[in-house]
Chain A
Amino acid sequence: MSPWFGRLNWGSTPFSDAIANPDTSNLVAAGAAALVVGGTLFTLYFLTRRHLWGRLWHDWLTTADHKKIGVMYVVLALVMMARAVIEGVVMRGQQAVVLHGDFLSAEHFGELFSTHGTIMIFFVAMPLVIGLINIVVPLQIGTRDVAFPVMNQVSLGLTTAGAALVMVSLVIGRFSTGGWTAYPPYTEAVFNPGVGPDYWIWAVVISGFGSMLSGINFAVTIYKLRAPGMSYMRMPLFTWTALCTAIMLIYAMPPVTVSSLMLALDRNLGFHFFTNDLGGNMMNYANIFWMFGHPEVYILVLPAYGVWSEVASTFTAKTLYGYTSLVIATMAIAVISFTVWLHHFFTMGQGNSVNIAFGIATMIIAVPTGVKVYDWMATLWRGRIRMTVPMVYLTGFFILFVIGGLSGMVLANPTIDYQVHNTLFLVAHFHNVLIPGVLFGMLAGIHYWFPKVFGFRLDERLGLWTAGLWIGGFCLTFLPLYVLGLLGMPRRMPSFSDPAYAPWALIAGFGALILLSAMIMLFVTLWVSARHRDRLAVPLGDPWDGRSLEWAIPAPVPEWNFAVIPRVAAREAFAVEKARGDPYPRPRVYQDITLPKNTALGAIICMAATLTGFALVWHIWWLAALSLALIPGALIVRAFVRETGRVIPAAEVAHAHEAWLDAIVRATGVTRDDETGSANRGLAAPDG
């Protein structure tokens, strides 16, 4: 222990472990660490060589534009997803070959399932959801930005800081082996005095603040900034799900912040919230954590449901069926999700009455989702369905997610849960709802709204291959896990000895490789599409014959979103106008537009938060205090800044907008059948 470096020392890296003891497990760890170091160095080199630092700073890291912030969230998610998918593949690989000689130590396997879960929930799924909401919702409600653009930046910074801590843990020190839930007393100082649980705590606490602030931002945006005429019942379903997600974020993030900070107090200052002695109550940790944990999964899935509503109606050219029931179902899910948390620990000692009450609540929450599924199917019924990439994901969702939901109903019964809790049956269930639910929804949403953000579509054929690989890979990897769970195989086990498990584990291992190729194919799709962006360009803004407000503006969307804030007269206003024959009204008057100035506040807070987290992990107290003080310091300095906006003159807006309107008048639209062809410039032809 040194006052300057805390408990940091030269032996704190996987490189020194691998040198001291070069077994397979340590070499894998060192290899991963080398990848992180190498990747970081390469990125720095690339940016310097191509002189991109200036553009990176001015166009991206200091912007307060919700569209760019949303894109950065998605980029963060995709980078972290690469790591987490590889970790999943390594774990499946270990279990596929374990009877013939494994290659991972138990400790290493423990870190893998902990980072895999933590990254997937906090640094893949959450950023995907928050990123997509960031990009789309202001466009759907007809406003120029979110309510608090600079706070939006800060949220991104805090989330990135958490992700950075998890990435650093791969190189310096080690991550927790306590799972993504980090239950004490295992994660208390007496059993785990090292840095692992501390990395987990600070990554979760710091990014948790960011997520909570995003929730506030989205809620205020939707409540207060809707365009004139857009009443609540005229909002698109994606916006409705975003609103309920925002409210859930606000109420669900405090519990995990509290439970994590209590654990930190136990570990660092010797408090007794969850210890074995002096009155600690470890069950309270599970209790508080899952008060967050359950709403969290609905926070992830509701926006996916929102995407399905948009996709189902757009690609069948029909009004969404059962709008009101979808809205009520969304609100019901949001509220009921706060009443079911005990089902995550049915087996931990409660009596019948408690278990039964929460079991019933858990079964009730399936009903609104069922209503939604029927509404989407009714939307498809007698519609003119086009099987584009988002529709393929929707199909995968329909078939697979329902299986996951049903396995959830099985688990909701406490008696049955006693048999399958913490087996691979549970693991199969939650991947079954997360992948076909959240991941497919986000991928469909990315594919759907990508042209709006970047001005060109993604390659359809590559997109279909990607979707197919995700669907097939999911089935091969996770459906066998149901069988394994029913055969009795526990979760989080690096090895097993029952040969009956082996064939299923082998299939799952093979499936994991398919999932890896699906992810690679996703990156290939993005890369190839970018290279062919001229062929795929849709500057006129409406490639799918969309129905809501965001499709009535150019692609890529101009900084100011709407040249003139629209006046909304109906639900699906854009579809109504197109049917009537008068879309794209030409404004008579243009006004100056004020947008937020760029600011470094988010970037500064990101760096300060990362340093604070790192210092707290390694007990470098002076650094922790200094970098923590930087955060309110930066905020106070910001409070004294007088000019926070910049004006875009009306003439500039008019010029850009008129040019776009003229291009629309000159262009010929494509019918829906030709939307994936190269003639699609983003103008939809009226129905033939």
Chain B
Amino acid sequence: MVNRMSAHLHPGLNLGSAHGAAHERSEPVLFGFWIFLMSDLITFGILFATYATNTGQIGLAGGPGPGDLFDLKSIGLQTGFLLASSLTCGMASLALKYDEGTSRVAQWLVVTALLGGGFLAFEVRDFASMISSGGTPMRSAWLSSLYALVGLHGLHVTMGLIWIAVMLALLAVAGLSDRFKTRLLMFALYWHFLDLLWIGIFSVVFLAGMT
């Protein structure tokens, strides 16, 4: 059997044995959350596959295509925002692990949320401009798949922002409790996972679409 207090008990950043019970209790929870992310991966995988099969002439159905609607500069900015927020999320996790104090953790979380908000702002703006150019999800199968795939990712990001807000409230109410620590680690897993998905999205949808 595994040494209960070994440094790496679960996926993602581990708190290590210095955090005692918080480290131990995180094992099943983080493992379970990791499994949930695997199921989410399948969900997105199916949306990717559907998107891919709709990129031909039939899927486009004579409507606007990638060349008409995509704004690579905006996508580049969104990529930057999300990647930066992944970094700051990592910093928040490290601040927790190396006991840099409640306010430091909170600060990194706030920055992460702001960067995530920036990502969403540009994405919503893109959607709005696509819609005004006639690129609505009702126009063609390709557009339906596009909005479903990118939209679901955006929804996940939005839920992540709500999660950060709840965590900040928890921090204010109960400080760095064991349960908070586990939750922050789960959030980090989630947030990094969203960036991984984004790599897939900007590659398969936006960049490949513009070649």
**Interface residues of A, Cβ cutoff 8 Å to B:** 147-148, 212, 215-217, 219-220, 223-225, 228, 250-251, 253-255, 257-258, 262, 265-266, 269-273, 275, 277-281, 284, 288, 291, 632, 636, 639-640, 642
- Contact for A272 among B35, B43, B141, B166, CB less than 8 A: B141
- Contact for A224 among B28, B53, B173, CB less than 8 A: B28
CB distance from A655 to the nearest CB of B (A): 29
Q: From DSSP, what is the main secondary structure of chain B's interface residues?
A: helix
B39, A212: Cβ atoms under 8 Å? Answer: yes
CB distance from B135 to the nearest CB of A (A): 13
Q: Is B36 an interface residue (CB 8 A)?
A: yes
- On chain A, the residues within 8 Å of B47 by CB distance are 258
By beta carbon, the residue of chain A nearest B54 is A279
B43, A279: Cβ atoms under 8 Å? Answer: no
- On chain A, the residues within 8 Å of B183 by CB distance are 639
Q: Is B31 an interface residue (CB 8 A)?
A: yes
- Contact for B141 among A254, A270, A273, CB less than 8 A: A273
CB distance from A401 to the nearest CB of B (A): 30
B32, A216: Cβ atoms under 8 Å? Answer: yes
A279, B61: Cβ atoms under 8 Å? Answer: yes
Whether A640 touches B50, Cβ cut-off 8 Å, given contacts A219-B35, A250-B35, is: no
- On chain B, the residues within 8 Å of A212 by CB distance are 39
CB distance from A82 to the nearest CB of B (A): 32
Greatest chain A CB density within 10 A among B50, B142, B169, B183 is at B50
A258, B46: Cβ atoms under 8 Å? Answer: yes
B42, A279: Cβ atoms under 8 Å? Answer: no
B144, A272: Cβ atoms under 8 Å? Answer: yes
Greatest chain B CB density within 10 A among A269, A279, A291, A632 is at A279
B32, A220: Cβ atoms under 8 Å? Answer: yes
B39, A272: Cβ atoms under 8 Å? Answer: no
Closest 4 CB pairs of A and B: A279-B141, A279-B61, A271-B144, A270-B138
Interface CB pairs A-B, < 8 A, 11: A220-B32, A250-B35, A253-B39, A272-B141, A272-B144, A279-B58, A279-B59, A279-B141, A281-B54, A281-B59, A639-B183
Whether A281 touches B53, Cβ cut-off 8 Å, given contacts A255-B42, A258-B47, A265-B144, is: yes
- Contact for A254 among B42, B138, B143, CB less than 8 A: B42
- On chain B, the residues within 8 Å of A278 by CB distance are 61, 63, 138-141
Q: Is B148 an interface residue (CB 8 A)?
A: yes
- On chain B, the residues within 8 Å of A270 by CB distance are 137-138
- On chain B, the residues within 8 Å of A277 by CB distance are 61
Cα distance A288–B46 in the bound complex, in angstroms? 8
By beta carbon, the residue of chain A nearest B27 is A224
- On chain A, the residues within 8 Å of B28 by CB distance are 147, 220, 224-225
- On chain A, the residues within 8 Å of B139 by CB distance are 272, 278
B46, A255: Cβ atoms under 8 Å? Answer: yes
Give the contacts of B46-91 with A (CB-CB under 8 A): 46-47, 50, 53-54, 58-61, 63
Whether A273 touches B39, Cβ cut-off 8 Å, given contacts A224-B31, A254-B46, is: no
Cα distance A284–B38 in the bound complex, in angstroms? 22
Whether A279 touches B140, Cβ cut-off 8 Å, given contacts A224-B28, A288-B46, A639-B170, is: yes
CB distance from B55 to the nearest CB of A (A): 10
- On chain A, the residues within 8 Å of B38 by CB distance are 250-251
- On chain B, the residues within 8 Å of A225 by CB distance are 28
Whether A220 touches B35, Cβ cut-off 8 Å, given contacts A251-B42, A279-B54, A636-B166, is: yes
- On chain B, the residues within 8 Å of A266 by CB distance are 144
A272, B140: Cβ atoms under 8 Å? Answer: yes
Q: From DSSP, what is the main secondary structure of chain A's interface residues?
A: helix
- On chain B, the residues within 8 Å of A215 by CB distance are 39
By beta carbon, the residue of chain A nearest B137 is A271
By beta carbon, the residue of chain A nearest B10 is A224
CB distance from B171 to the nearest CB of A (A): 12
- Contact for B36 among A216, A288, A642, CB less than 8 A: A216
CB distance from B68 to the nearest CB of A (A): 16
B162, A273: Cβ atoms under 8 Å? Answer: no
Q: Is B145 an interface residue (CB 8 A)?
A: yes
CB distance from A87 to the nearest CB of B (A): 32
CB distance from A263 to the nearest CB of B (A): 12
By beta carbon, the residue of chain B nearest A229 is B1
Given A281-B59, A640-B174, output 17 extra A-B contacts at Cβ < 8 Å: A147-B28, A212-B39, A216-B32, A217-B32, A257-B43, A262-B148, A265-B144, A270-B137, A271-B144, A271-B148, A272-B61, A272-B140, A272-B144, A275-B141, A279-B58, A279-B142, A640-B169
- On chain A, the residues within 8 Å of B42 by CB distance are 251, 254-255
- On chain A, the residues within 8 Å of B29 by CB distance are 148
A284, B50: Cβ atoms under 8 Å? Answer: yes
CB distance from A152 to the nearest CB of B (A): 12
By beta carbon, the residue of chain A nearest B143 is A272
B162, A632: Cβ atoms under 8 Å? Answer: yes
- On chain B, the residues within 8 Å of A272 by CB distance are 61, 138-141, 143-144
By beta carbon, the residue of chain A nearest B145 is A273
CB distance from B154 to the nearest CB of A (A): 15
Cα distance A123–B47 in the bound complex, in angstroms? 27
- On chain B, the residues within 8 Å of A273 by CB distance are 50, 141, 144-145, 148
Cα distance A228–B4 in the bound complex, in angstroms? 12
By beta carbon, the residue of chain A nearest B45 is A254
Cα distance A280–B140 in the bound complex, in angstroms? 8
Cα distance A538–B36 in the bound complex, in angstroms? 40
- On chain B, the residues within 8 Å of A642 by CB distance are 174
- On chain A, the residues within 8 Å of B59 by CB distance are 279, 281
Cα distance A395–B54 in the bound complex, in angstroms? 51
B35, A280: Cβ atoms under 8 Å? Answer: no
CB distance from A187 to the nearest CB of B (A): 16
A640, B31: Cβ atoms under 8 Å? Answer: no
- On chain B, the residues within 8 Å of A217 by CB distance are 32
- Contact for B32 among A147, A228, A258, A284, CB less than 8 A: A147
CB distance from B173 to the nearest CB of A (A): 7
CB distance from B34 to the nearest CB of A (A): 10
A640, B43: Cβ atoms under 8 Å? Answer: no
A250, B39: Cβ atoms under 8 Å? Answer: yes
CB distance from B170 to the nearest CB of A (A): 6
Cα distance A220–B35 in the bound complex, in angstroms? 9
Cα distance A281–B50 in the bound complex, in angstroms? 9
Cα distance A270–B141 in the bound complex, in angstroms? 10
Cα distance A220–B10 in the bound complex, in angstroms? 12
CB distance from B16 to the nearest CB of A (A): 19
- On chain A, the residues within 8 Å of B162 by CB distance are 632
- On chain A, the residues within 8 Å of B174 by CB distance are 640, 642
- On chain A, the residues within 8 Å of B137 by CB distance are 265, 269-271
Cα distance A264–B115 in the bound complex, in angstroms? 32
B141, A281: Cβ atoms under 8 Å? Answer: yes
By beta carbon, the residue of chain B nearest A228 is B1
CB distance from B40 to the nearest CB of A (A): 8
- On chain A, the residues within 8 Å of B43 by CB distance are 254, 257-258
B39, A251: Cβ atoms under 8 Å? Answer: yes
By beta carbon, the residue of chain B nearest A253 is B39
Whether A280 touches B39, Cβ cut-off 8 Å, given contacts A216-B32, A225-B28, is: no
